[in-house]
Homo-oligomer: A and B are copies of this chain.
Amino acid sequence: MSFEFTLHARDGRARAGEIRTPRGNIRTPAFMPVGTAGTVKAMLPESVRATGADIVLGNTYHLMLRPGAERIARLGGLHRFMNWQGPILTDSGGFQVMSLAALRKLSEEGVRFASHIDGARHLLSPETSMEIQRLLGSDIVMAFDECTPFPADHATARRSMELSMRWAQRSRDAFGDRQGHALFGIQQGSVYRDLRAQSAEKLTEIGFDGYAVGGLAVGEGQEAMFEVLDYAPEMLPADRPRYLMGVGKPDDIIGAVARGIDMMDCVLPTRSGRTGQAWTRRGAVNLRNARHRDDPRPLDEACTCPACRGYSRAYLHHTIRAGEIIGAMLLTWHNLHYYQQLMAGLREAITAGQLNTFRQEFERQRAGGDIEPL
């Protein structure tokens, strides 16, 4: 069985559909929880599934260093290793190697670097990234690219994009033909429309199973991001899924979906959960704040996640303050649940042609909540 994308509905530029993979279907727009090192932090995989997630993301950079891609392959692949039977998308390692690795040196070949864990020397290149993602058993493989830093002047952004396009071709060549596995290309070009167009043209010419909008959510701010999203996704083939990497907050997600994005990932709900920040329909809530310590109410009385069904804000406050693992477990679960509820609401609204109404209701709830903003 192969990889297929079907669109069920459109509402303006927004799309609702389904990606079919041998590991299961992915309802789009989809939010992918991040399982960096073989675990969506503080969650059991069955709990991740219970929140409504169809797919999780794994990080090539982290996994190649520890426990190692060859080791995971010998152990039966990443799905078996982390006990997640649904689809997995892996990034290429390109972003992490530039932000986390030591002694990194970028050349036409790729990036040579030292592990941030043990200092061992490695090379990430289109060819090694494809090989590592193959060893992991990834269902959706990302082309190896350079995430152009922000800000970048036009000449710098062009050179970076052109390098990524040469790497995209090498990724495509190295990936080969793998039945049931998909390869996604990544559009670059920073905030420059002409470069985004050139990148989209090149990627389409090479041909991929899906296309990511890369180089956003890197500090440019929501307004600048939305400006790019007002034109960039539509440059990519309409019959393939469009993936916005590393996004975002709930209102970023809604704005991206409204602009034609089908897939997203972000560490925000999981990372926030471990530090006491909850995402709710009424906005963000910092459970560390002392005003919660005597509050018997659930975080959100309308939420059906385990944190909201079984515990008071006072308990969440206490466990987060005391550094108890259950605090991270409950808030992570709540945040992922909220994010998946948001995605389900978006899919439903698009299908019903009611996305504008959904957005107005989202803003109304956020503005009128009794939970103070952060």
Contacts and interface: CB of A to CB of B under 8 A. Distances in A.
A102 to B, nearest CB: 18
A56 to B, nearest CB: 13
Interface string A40-68: 01111100000000000000000000110
Contacts of A37: 318-319, 322, 324
A41 B328 CA distance: 11
B66 A321 contact: yes
A324 B59 CA distance: 15
Most buried by B among A39, A74, A274, A306: A39
A326 B40 CA distance: 8
A43 B325 CA distance: 8
A187 B360 CA distance: 67
A293 interface: yes
Given A38-B319, A67-B293, A319-B38, A75 B314 contact: yes
B39 A324 contact: yes
Most buried by B among A42, A74, A76, A325: A325
A41 B42 CA distance: 12
A82 interface: yes
A81 interface: yes
A296 interface: yes
Contact of A294 (B74, B296, B322): B74
Interface in A82-120: 82-83
Interface string A300-333: 0000001000111011011101101110111000
A318 B65 CA distance: 11
Contacts of A326: 39, 41-44
Given A71-B294, A83-B311, A328 B329 contact: no
A331 to B, nearest CB: 12
Interface string A8-51: 00000000000000000000000000000111011111000000
State how many copies of this chain the complex holds: 2
A238 B194 CA distance: 87
Contacts of A45: 310
A297 B43 CA distance: 22
Contacts of A83: 310-311, 315
Given A38-B315, A71-B314, A314-B81, A44 B296 contact: no
Contacts of A328: 325
Nearest to A312: B75
B67 A318 contact: yes
Given A39-B325, A44-B326, A81-B312, 11 more contacts: A38-B319, A41-B324, A43-B326, A44-B306, A66-B322, A71-B293, A75-B296, A81-B314, A82-B315, A274-B325, A329-B329
7 closest A-B pairs (Cβ-Cβ)? A83-B310, A42-B325, A39-B326, A67-B318, A39-B324, A37-B322, A75-B296
